[in-house]
Amino acid sequence: MEGNVEVIFVLITLLGMLAVLVADLMRPGLVMFSVCVLFMCTGILSPKELLAGFSNEGMITVALLFLVSEGIRRSDALGHMISHILPVRPGKRQTARKGYSKLMPTIAGISAFLNNTPIVVIFIPIVKEWAAKAGLNVKKFLIPVSYAAILGGMCTLIGTSTNLVVHGMMLEEGYKGFSMFELGKVGGVIAVVGILYIILFGNRLLPSDKTPEETAVAGQNRNLHKTEAVIGPRFKGINVPFKDFDFDKRYGARILEIRRNGETQSDTENLILKEGDTLIIETDDSFFANWGDSSEFLMLSNGKPHKIPCPKWKKWVSIGLLAIMIAGATFGQMPGIKALIPGIELDMFFWVCVVTVIMAALNLFPAKRYTKFISWDILVTIASALAISKAMTNSGLADMLAGKLTSAISGNVSPLMVLAALYITTNIITELITNNAAAAFAFPIAMSAATQLGIDPMPFFVAITIAASASFSTPIGYQTNMIAQGIGNYKFRDFTRFGLPLNIIAFIISMILIPVFWKF
């Protein structure tokens, strides 16, 4: 293939891929890897370029951060912290606004340094139990928990995998990459304003109708009770018709209800089970003992948080190691520190490797089963997205799209208008597919647009990074939103109604602050 033929072929293939991703016909990692193989077969990608993503520093850092997050989760340090933040005192009236004021900054602060998904999985059962005791409607809180985690993730290099993906691509192209708190110049402001928005408008805009999960706690005094189970990536019945999957035999529990996109499914016999579906099951406490530590379910909730027994010393050691990793990555690149230890790059990758090995040696997570705590589909998605990004550059599609983007703006091409166009485009894509894929698609276009305009690409890189994370308007763009939707039984429109103003807030703040901190 040559010239325009390659451009057209890559464009059509990517549009087809987007359609498959939106339709959720296959797992994102497999869809995108299949596209990479097709590009390799047609000569657009070399085998070396296809494999490059699997050795990308950002991708491997994401993998190791899954293990660090698991070590923190198992220590129950976060659960211990939140129990002190959200006490229910007799005679003291609790309100949603008071809950937001305590919860949102805490979750955002923690999410700035740990993977968003395990944080949401940890906090949702705790918040549900607290809301029930405080007499508050749980539907006022689960979407805000997800949004707070997303907002916190925008503040640091390791806050979300998206930041690390763009960072890794920048390093491969010869740019310096992000420092630990560089994105916080914009992300931190968005987080503060976003949290204020939740505090002021959450109780007013979020639904409050009574739902089955609010009454799930009522059955706790019986041998059998209701439990909510969100289907995870390793669930054996994914893409299997419900009528052909013997859930009772495999898991020892009976399915009472299946929810998807906030709707209870009536025709369960012909339903194809998918990741993110919420199952309302009837079971006893042995279900938690058997499956509470399994990646077959993204989350289990029976009205009270599931705690893994852990010695107190592990809580302090895990928090200490996290602090060392953050401090090491923050100060390790300073000229004075680098001069003291020449020949060793004390960056984020170095420290996450060291901390992961120490956590494994101390059994802060089960070292013999470490592979089950890594979300492999996310890693394949990241690696494949990086290869697809390369294919867009090789074929000339990135240059063409960048040219169309700049020429579509009438009159003198303003870098700020291109910045806005890149942000909006990336944000729309991330609401429909995965955030990492959206960032990887936008990266070569951003780089090419900067080259054509003759300006520093850094403002564009920051914009697509923030835009790819700012997934508030749909439940399908971010896994934490999907978890909140399943447990809270929210409608699609609940996310749009409450989340769209947050998207607009993030966009306006980005357009104001990015040109201030990163000059064109």
- Total residues found in the chain within this entry: 520
Per the prediction, the chain carries an average pLDDT of 85
pLDDT tens, position by position, 229-283 = 888 777 888 888 888 888 888 888 888 888 887 778 877 777 888 888 888 888 8
Query: Is the pLDDT score of 219 beyond 60?
Result: no
Worst-scoring range by mean pLDDT, 92-96, 222-226, 275-279, 457-461? 222-226
Higher local confidence (pLDDT), 282 or 193? 193
End-to-end CA distance of the chain: 36
Looking at 267-311, list the stretches that DSSP marks H as alpha helix, in order from N- to C-terminal side: 286-291
The pLDDT assigned to 482 comes to 83
Residue 218 has pLDDT above 70, yes or no: no
Q: Please, are residues 352 and 65 in contact by the beta-carbon 8 Å criterion?
A: yes
* Per-residue tokens: 304: 């009270």
Summarised one tens digit per residue, pLDDT across range 123-166 is: 888 888 888 888 889 899 999 999 999 999 999 998 888 999 89
pLDDT at 369 over 80: yes
Residue 46 DSSP label? -
The per-residue pLDDT for 286 is 75
Q: The pTM is what?
A: 0.82
pLDDT of residue 210: 56
- Using CA atoms, how far apart are residues 395 and 375, in angstroms rounded to an integer? 31
Candidates 359, 402, 353, 377; CA nearest to 479 is 377
Q: Which residue has the higher pLDDT, 456 or 4?
A: 456
The answer to whether the Cα torsion of 422, 424, 427, 432 is positive or negative is negative
76-101 confidence digits (pLDDT tens): 777 777 777 776 665 567 788 988 99
> What tokens were used for 417?
């208008």
Token pair of 3, please? 């010239």
Report, as an integer, the average pLDDT of 176-197. Answer: 95
Distance CA 189, CA 342 (A): 36
Q: Are 119 and 111 in contact (CB under 8 A)?
A: yes
Alpha-carbon distances of 359 from 44, 58, 276, 367, rounded to whole Å: 41, 20, 30, 9
Please report, rounded to a whole number, the percentage of residues in the chain having pLDDT higher than 90: 36
pLDDT digits (tens, 9 = 90+) for 388-426: 989 999 999 998 988 887 776 655 678 999 999 999 999
Instruction: Enumerate residues 6+ apart whose C-beta is below 8 A from 408.
Output: 421
Residue pointed to by tokens 């060291």 = 354
Q: With bands split at pLDDT 50, 70 and 90, how would you rate the model's confidence at 112? A: very high
Would you state the pLDDT for residue 308?
A: 64
Q: How far apart, in whole angstroms, are the C-alpha atoms of residue 495 and residue 69?
A: 27
Report whether pLDDT(509) > 70: yes
